[in-house]
């Protein structure tokens, strides 16, 4: 069972979705970006699988979902990524969690790497799934996400969700219903404001140099879908090549949302890898 609570951390209120006992080894699950994204919809199919072994924390990141949306917001991806990373560290402080494993999806992977850079002692093992952080140009599908608010229609949301997976048959004929629910969150004024601040025109993306990655000694599992159209697997390869203690697992027949499209395989990989780090 997933529980949700509000925690004030670093001067901001964060909505946090949890499973497991607080005295168990902790995992922080960081969701990706996109209009209407939040922690629960990103991880709800995975969190219950870890309830017996770990204390899972899946926040709506700062500027997403039902967490606070700063006004004025940090300007640009780099500034907002650091603010989000610092709010996650403050969340750990508030909950008395001295050290946690991190699982980051897409933008959540970039925030994981930022947390590891700012406070390396707080991070156990890292799982980077479809992670950003490589110095690649945005793909056409990622540009649809970035520019969504130029045409925030139900059809545009359906198209965006289809881009997240290898086979949209995964939605079992419910694509329109799922898109409508996500669009209802996306068009909230504060959600729109945070998205536009994150992807402010003219501001540089977040990428990590080989030297920055080489300075992170954490054991890391890089997981990437072979058919990822948002962030192609060359980005995962870049991270695995430059993080000194990384291993890479490429999943066939999977797009950007491996945790949904290949839930069993992803959960098994993550559980094995993270449990090794608890010993």
Phi, psi of 230 (to 5 degrees): -75, -55
Q: In this structure, what token pair is assigned to residue 269? A: 């990989």
Beta bridge partners of 17: 4, 58
**Catalytic: which of 87, 106, 131, 194?**
106
- 75 among known catalytic residues: no
Sorted by sequence, the CB contacts under 8 Å of residue 241 that are 6+ apart come out as none
- 228 among known catalytic residues: yes
List, edge to edge, every strand of the sheet that includes 12-19: 3-9, 12-19, 55-59, 26-30, 100-105, 123-129, 220-225, 246-251
Question: What distance lies between CA 245 and its chain's CA centroid?
Answer: 21
- 141 among known catalytic residues: no
Cis, peptide link before residue 97, omega less than 30° from 0 = no
Name the residue with tokens 């964060």.
Answer: 14
**Catalytic: which of 69, 218, 224, 256?**
256
**Catalytic: which of 194, 218, 228, 249?**
228
d(CA 192, CA 232): 26
List Cα–Cα distances, 169 to 40, 155, 261, in angstroms. 22, 17, 10
SS3 content of the chain, % helix, strand, coil (to 5): 45, 20, 40
Burial class (CB in 10 A: 0-12, 13-18, 19+), 54: buried
Active site residues: 106, 228, 256
């Amino acid at each position: 069972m997933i529980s949700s609570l509000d925690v004030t951390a670093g001067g901001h209120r964060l909505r946090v979705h949890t499973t497991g006992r607080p005295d168990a080894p902790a995992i922080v699950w960081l969701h990706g970006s996109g209009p209407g994204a939040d922690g629960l919809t990103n991880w709800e199919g995975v969190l219950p699988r870890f309830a017996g072994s770990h204390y899972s924390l899946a926040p709506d990141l700062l500027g997403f979902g039902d967490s606070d949306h700063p006004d004025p917001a940090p300007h640009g991806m780099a500034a907002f990524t650091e603010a989000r990373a610092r709010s996650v560290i403050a969340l750990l402080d508030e909950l008395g969690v001295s050290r946690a494993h991190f699982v980051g999806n897409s933008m959540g992977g970039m925030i994981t790497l930022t947390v590891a850079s700012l406070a390396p002692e707080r991070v156990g093992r890292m799982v980077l799934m479809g992670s950003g952080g490589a110095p690649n140009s945005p793909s056409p599908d990622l540009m649809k996400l970035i520019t969504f608010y130029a045409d925030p229609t139900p059809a545009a949301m359906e198209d965006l969700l289809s881009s997240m997976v290898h086979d949209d048959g995964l939605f079992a004929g419910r694509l329109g219903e799922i898109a409508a629910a996500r669009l209802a969150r996306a068009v909230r004024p504060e959600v729109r404001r945070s998205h536009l601040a994150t992807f402010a025109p003219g501001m540089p993306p977040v990428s990590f140099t080989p030297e920055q990655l080489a300075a992170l000694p954490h054991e890391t599992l890089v997981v990437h879908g072979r058919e990822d159209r948002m962030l192609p697997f060359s980005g995962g390869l870049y991270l695995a090549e430059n993080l000194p203690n990384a291993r890479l697992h490429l999943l066939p027949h999977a797009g950007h949302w491996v945790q949904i499209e290949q839930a069993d395989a992803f959960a098994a990989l993550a559980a094995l890898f993270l449990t090794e780090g608890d010993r």
